[in-house]
Structure 1
């Protein structure tokens, strides 16, 4: 099931995106728009991946606040530490793009409960996002000192939006449920009341309850009253944090940060110089081992088929799995994805409601494990297993060791 960002949450998210940017020229395109037109102009800009609409939405003084904060940060941060972090990120982004084929063939990734073709589909837009950020105008303090918020959002911002939409389109959704783009297109904004520099609008988005939003006019632009009421205090908080970023504190972090970057760069150098797929993955596997270990349980907790894994048709609604309802099937041999599929099919026949069951297969060395939920009675479930012989049933540990039929 595809979970879309509520349109009302989007108003907050896009309203804070300019905090990533620095100095921008106040745009005139949002001037003279009504309260409903102001919101629609921003939503249409986001939908068309023209993210400068977010910058244009802000009053000029708000843009100037962001400018000064970006400049202050650039003047306080250590260039070697900041620039070095982005340079390392650039090397990583290049490896993710250039060595995609090697990475996707890594055995640990192959053993994740996600079809390799699905990982491949998500790979390009995800790595494009990383690459866009680490190569953007955020990537050096010199650039940050003369940063243009409108330029950033109209270039890097558009790239980010394009790839986020691509990822959103890959996530399975219910039949007849509007896509994120369609949801934006179909959103209606109407004026309920208006008096002077205050107004109330109604926002109606497909699949969401209508919501009324209070708007106020600031420097000729209509913005949510909540944003206007909280802007100054938020800016004061950020300025206070920047004031506490003293040279002594920056220096105290420098040695540890540079040591960490050195270690990462040494590993990246090994990956860059690898002469073969085997040499590359011998270096990569120990790095991704912790991720591979926790990924299956994370997917179990998420309880939704975002990546369309082998159990995706059987995953239920977006509810955390109860540990007291998870049963672990242990098969003491390593199974390929193809060998796992018929077992998953048999498991589906063993449960009362296949539409609500979660199945997460994973490999641990030469052992294959299936975590299934919800299962109330472990012993009763064991009796329904048809793909092998339950050699050991431990109701207390909620585990079943199965010997496969030969």
Structure 2
């Protein structure tokens, strides 16, 4: 259930966003950016700002009604979840990240890793700090608490959380072996193939890559992908209907089991954190297997195994094509 609700929230607040990389920008700097009226200049500005690490430009590039929809859905989500269950779930995730950082040496030398190749272990060692940082960004964001959702402001979220994410995407792309990275887009050029007052076909040319053509539609003085413009209202209505259908009574009925599972996981994490040598760590990790399997089975019975909702429309092509839009 928690997974299902969080995924809906994440889909809402990241619609139109690709979380890539660059150098962070302060909110006051992001607010000063002017998006031009011309379609090619508008998308060029989004690309340029994003490659500089300005995650807030994605929010600024949304039509005002889209921004309102995102804020409304995030706040609606906050009214449909149990504060104790939701907040404690994220506290547990944050604790897990702390332990991964604290016990990284034991993790890498664990007997559970014996079957991994030297190359795989090197990749894991490089990835663990990045994973910890990304989890910490999420667990300290507005998405990690009921109060944060109830008071959600997309401008603030993109100014801070999204811009923080952007700082890590270049490294993430390198670790995953992506053929194109955000830095490749520093020299991207956007040009007009054909355009009128309401629609434009744009060509994005990135050095070393095949040019990409995409159709944009003007919505409330903002140029957005035509597919997004066609599907936005229906997708927002679909997500809102799912939130409206959420039963407070069902959540209350499941709460004792969820809180019991979280308490069990907290106990397991405490044992892992307390390990002072490799033997103690491996023993505590082995002892965690049964409780963790039980939690997985419990989550599947509470909605964790349900099919995900339909994906939000894809984002504008302002990033490496090998990295998909948030689905």
TM-score range with shorter-chain normalisation?
Answer: 0.7 to 0.9
Secondary structure, counterpart of 1:262 in structure 2: helix
Who wins on radius of gyration, i.e. which is larger?
1
2:187–2:206 contact (8 Å) kept in structure 1: yes
Partners of 1:127 and 1:74 in 2: how far apart? 25
Partners of 1:286 and 1:261 in 2: how far apart? 16
1:35–1:223 contact (8 Å) kept in structure 2: no
Task: Give the TM-score normalised by the residue count of structure 2.
Answer: 0.74
1:212-231 deviation line (CA, Å, top 9, x unaligned): 22222111111111111111
Secondary structure, counterpart of 1:15 in structure 2: coil
1:128 aligns with 2:133: yes
In the alignment of these two chains, the number of paired residues is: 269
What corresponds to 1:257 in structure 2? Answer: 258
Partners of 1:184 and 1:281 in 2: how far apart? 44
1:66 aligns with 2:70: yes
- The structure-2 alpha-carbon separation of the partners of 1:166 and 1:286, relative to structure 1 and needing over 3 Å to count, comes to farther
Secondary structure, counterpart of 2:36 in structure 1: coil
Q: Equivalences for 1:212-227 in 2 at 5 Å?
A: 212-227=213-228
Structure 1 gap segments, 5+ residues each:
1-12, 19-23, 292-406
1:149 aligns with 2:154: yes
1:161 aligns with 2:166: yes
Secondary structure, counterpart of 2:167 in structure 1: helix
1:122–1:170 contact (8 Å) kept in structure 2: yes
Q: Which has the higher strand share?
A: 1
Task: Give the TM-score normalised by the residue count of structure 1.
Answer: 0.60
1:46 aligns with 2:47: no
Q: Which has the higher helix share?
A: 2
Q: CA deviation at 1:87?
A: 0.7
What corresponds to 2:192 in structure 1? Answer: 191
1:105 aligns with 2:109: yes
Q: CA deviation at 1:74?
A: 0.3
Partners of 2:173 and 2:66 in 1: how far apart? 30
Structure 2 gap segments, 5+ residues each:
1-13, 20-26, 294-327
Partners of 1:48 and 1:260 in 2: how far apart? 42
What corresponds to 1:229 in structure 2? Answer: 230
Partners of 2:34 and 2:289 in 1: how far apart? 46
Structure number with higher relative contact order (C-alpha < 8 Å, ≥ 6 residues apart): 2
What corresponds to 1:365 in structure 2? Answer: none
What corresponds to 2:145 in structure 1? Answer: 140
Q: CA deviation at 1:133?
A: 1.0
What corresponds to 1:80 in structure 2? Answer: 84
Partners of 1:207 and 1:257 in 2: how far apart? 50
Q: CA deviation at 1:287?
A: 4.7
1:45–1:54 contact (8 Å) kept in structure 2: no
RMSD, aligned α-carbons: 2.8
Once the two structures are overlaid, the 10-residue window that deviates more, 199-208 or 160-169, is 199-208
